[in-house]
Structure 1
Amino acid sequence: MAKGREWRSETDRAYANGAFIARAEGYPPKWEAAAAGFRESLGARARLGLAYGGAERQRFDLFLPEGVARGLLIFVHGGYWMAFGRETWSHLAAGAVARGWACAMPSYTLAPAARIAGITAEVARACAVAAEAVPGVPVVVTGHSAGGHLSARMGCADQAVPGLRRVVPVSPLAELAPLMETEMQDALRLDGPECAMESPARLARASGVECHVWVGGQERPAFLWQARHLSEEWDCPWTVDPGRHHFDVIDGLTDPGSALMRACLGGLD
């Protein structure tokens, strides 16, 4: 835990998540095991490694419900744009699939190989290709942490995701400027113009796209501020999920009846 640890800056401490979560190191192995089990359980309804571009990580997995899909939920993973991939999160499609929705999960090129603006462009392309694979249905984009940032970016007026009706950023990074004061800056290489261009809280929400911001009640204060800041700038609802921290706030996506799933689908099903 964080007791006695030295930080390069107070901003590093503010954006450290695992250091303030008990037994944080146990979460990634649990996620990976649950994800592998879910993929196996779906059999042929798990279409894996579909390309949306030519680069190694420009792939997405598509999980299909039984029968005709009623909609498409796209989940964008987090990891501060520097870690993880789609394979760790497959189980989070369970709630959507159980409700008759398809669920797409893209990977993207990680920093420092890509800048955040480039990652945004990759995710936009992934969303467009996934929408082509499940045509004629409403599209919802959600994502967690850095993926919350990317899901919010898909709802900005400068984007045009086909069929997009709703975005649900979970624990999003909506204002990027504070990250310039962290150790992550070595990999992210943010500057003033990119922060302005890539901070959803500074950008207009696209007309006709609804938004509901979600965050855990036990998250770091910086993430509570980020969530509220976006909800205020976009004049949209936000929910503080009681007792949830940064690593378990996404668990509701596995449950078709959860409050988080209801927020994602927003009556579209």
Structure 2
Amino acid sequence: MSLQTEGPNHAGDTEYQYVSGQFRGSFASLFSRFDALNVQALTSNCWQLDLRYGPHERQTLDLCPAVGVARGTAFYFHAGYWHSRDKAQFRFLAPPLADAGFNVAMVNYPLSPEVRIPQITEAVRAAVPALIATLPDRHKSLPLFLCGHSAGAHLAIELAANTCSAWQSQVSAVICISGLFDLVPLVNTSLNQKLVLDHLDAHDCSPLYRVRSNELPEGYFLVGGDETPAFQDQSRAMAQHWASAGNRSRLIAVAGQDHFSVLDALQGPDGLLLALMNERSTGC
């Protein structure tokens, strides 16, 4: 069963809920500003760009190393509905985290329709051990933070829930921003021209239905207060499933923010992303 969307308008219109209703006319100017911040980010820290973690041309990551004494390592998986966008569009998020003592890996991954979502999920599993192997010895055992936005939040959750990974016990928190955890509604949208999901595939790719009990890291589920009801329901449902299984969970609605402006509330030295990582790294 997929999520049921509440709301006075477009309640049963999945195309609106997941595509057209999420669009804002401000996106062009917002991304233009993000582009300027990305240029500035590359000049302010000692990046290592396009480090390879697998054979596919998009299995690469950018590392923004921790400044001073390292306190942890964060992985960030970008948005784009598994078929678009690039790590380079979100580099601006990394320097404030690095300046606070966190290694930050901005991760690219193969895209659909060249590969299907299960293959994308499998591809990103290699990113964590590949980066850990390159870090200085004193950094290899640091706490890990898995962060993702939209489709990237789906990938972050899939990694966090993979308890067979040798590094899984190091994961301190998974931080999901406007995530997609039930993929069944996407089957009936224009997105499926690229995703090529049937209902069984979509269910199998939905971490909402595979939450394990009492063995997963702290889950933070953030969503913009101005996003469509379906996106808000996705985060609410995942937070509830995470908690119902006995895992620590928090739902955070970011008032007045849409699907991409929510990143403004996260970024910077006073942003919510660093605040949550600081909270976990100090054991609060």
Is the 1:148–1:170 Cα contact (8 Å) retained in structure 2? Answer: yes
**TM-score, normalising length from structure 1?**
0.89
**TM-score, normalising length from structure 2?**
0.85
1:30 alignment partner AA: R
Give the whole-Å Cα distance in 1 for the aligned partners of 2:273 and 2:254.
Answer: 9
Uncovered stretches (5+) of structure 1, i.e. residues with no partner: 1-6
Give the whole-Å Cα distance in 1 for the aligned partners of 2:154 and 2:70.
Answer: 26
Give the whole-Å Cα distance in 2 for the aligned partners of 1:252 and 1:25.
Answer: 18
Partner of 1:219: 227
2:37 alignment partner AA: A
Q: What whole-Å deviation, never above 9, does each CA across 1:76-116 have from its counterpart, x for those lacking one? A: 00110111111111111123112111100110111101111
Is the 1:93–1:253 Cα contact (8 Å) retained in structure 2? Answer: no
Residues 80 and 191 of structure 1: CA distance in aligned 2, closer, same or farther (over 3 Å): same
- 1:154 is matched with which residue: 159, 165, 172? 159
- 1:31 is matched with which residue: 30, 34, 40? 34
Is the 1:214–1:241 Cα contact (8 Å) retained in structure 2? Answer: yes
Q: How does 1:1-269 map to 2 (within 5 A)?
A: 10-16=13-19, 20-42=23-45, 45-134=46-135, 135-157=140-162, 160=165, 162=167, 163-205=170-212, 207-235=215-243, 236-269=249-282
Is the 1:154–1:161 Cα contact (8 Å) retained in structure 2? Answer: no
Uncovered stretches (5+) of structure 2, i.e. residues with no partner: 1-9, 244-248
Give the whole-Å Cα distance in 1 for the aligned partners of 2:251 and 2:99.
Answer: 25
Deviation at 1:225, TM superposition (A): 0.4
Is the 1:143–1:149 Cα contact (8 Å) retained in structure 2? Answer: yes
Give the whole-Å Cα distance in 1 for the aligned partners of 2:22 and 2:200.
Answer: 31
1:241 alignment partner AA: V
Residues 111 and 166 of structure 1: CA distance in aligned 2, closer, same or farther (over 3 Å): same
Give the whole-Å Cα distance in 1 for the aligned partners of 2:216 and 2:14.
Answer: 35
Q: What whole-Å deviation, never above 9, does each CA across 1:190-237 have from its counterpart, x for those lacking one? A: 123432332111112471411111111111111100000101111121
SS of residue paired to 2:258: coil
Is the 2:187–2:202 Cα contact (8 Å) retained in structure 1? Answer: no
Give the whole-Å Cα distance in 2 for the aligned partners of 1:193 and 1:233.
Answer: 20
Is the 2:266–2:272 Cα contact (8 Å) retained in structure 1? Answer: no
Give the whole-Å Cα distance in 2 for the aligned partners of 1:248 and 1:160.
Answer: 33
1:201 alignment partner AA: L
2:26 alignment partner AA: R
> Considering only aligned residues, what root-mean-square deviation do their CA atoms show, in Å?
2.0
Give the whole-Å Cα distance in 2 for the aligned partners of 1:18 and 1:105.
Answer: 28
Give the whole-Å Cα distance in 1 for the aligned partners of 2:61 and 2:70.
Answer: 17
Deviation at 1:140, TM superposition (A): 0.4
Give the whole-Å Cα distance in 2 for the aligned partners of 1:150 and 1:241.
Answer: 21
Give the whole-Å Cα distance in 2 for the aligned partners of 1:27 and 1:10.
Answer: 27
Deviation at 1:265, TM superposition (A): 4.1
SS of residue paired to 1:89: helix
Partner of 1:3: none
Give the whole-Å Cα distance in 1 for the aligned partners of 2:234 and 2:81.
Answer: 14
Residues 101 and 59 of structure 1: CA distance in aligned 2, closer, same or farther (over 3 Å): same
1:242 alignment partner AA: A
**Among the aligned pairs, what percent are the same residue?**
30
Partner of 2:5: none
